[in-house]
Structure 1
Amino acid sequence: MNTISNEGLTNIYASEPSVYYAEYPSQEQQNRYLVQGAIATLFVSLLILTSLAVS
């Protein structure tokens, strides 16, 4: 928010975001994270094995 003081100076400050606490992921979200981690691990493993096979 831009404001101008009584002296005519511009005050440009970042607005502070509201603070909130994160919620613990539900069981469904945890399962999704597990599947995504397994797929990522498989993908990286295949990349490493492919690079070893090519070289």
Structure 2
Amino acid sequence: MPYTTEEGGRLNNFAAEPKVYQAEPPTKAQQRNYIIMGIVSAVLISGLVFVAFSVSSVS
């Protein structure tokens, strides 16, 4: 654990810093999967909204 000694003998403990790295862009397969998940999510939300409106008593 990295620490420093301050005035009066107090120890100040610091968290270990994570290694920094550059993010890589998604591959074509990952992009395709993101599009498919987005479409499935949109269909699911649309279905839930349709069911909510169809069972509600609001005219």
Do they fold alike, i.e. is TM over 0.5?
yes
Alignment-derived partner of residue 27 in structure 1? 28
Equivalent residues in 2 for 1:1-55, closer than 5 Å: 1=1, 3=3, 5=5, 9-55=10-56
The ranges of structure 1 where at least 4 consecutive aligned residues each deviate by more than 6 angstroms after the TM superposition are: none
Could you report, residue by residue, the CA deviation over 1:14-48 in whole angstroms, capped at 9, with x for unpaired residues?
11111111100000000000000000000000010
Root-mean-square deviation (CA), in Å? 1.9
Looking at CA atoms only, which structure, 1 or 2, has the larger radius of gyration? 2
Q: Unaligned 5+ residue runs, structure 2?
A: none
CA distance 1:19–1:4, shift in 2 (3 Å): closer
SS at structure 1 position matched to 2:12: strand
Distance in 2, matches of 1:49 and 1:12, equals 55
Q: Report the number of matched residues.
A: 55
Determine if contact 2:3/2:14 at 8 Å carries over to the other structure. Answer: no
SS at structure 1 position matched to 2:43: helix
Distance in 1, matches of 2:9 and 2:40, equals 59
Q: Unaligned 5+ residue runs, structure 1?
A: none
Percent identity of paired positions between Structure 1 and Structure 2: 35
Distance in 1, matches of 2:47 and 2:2, equals 53
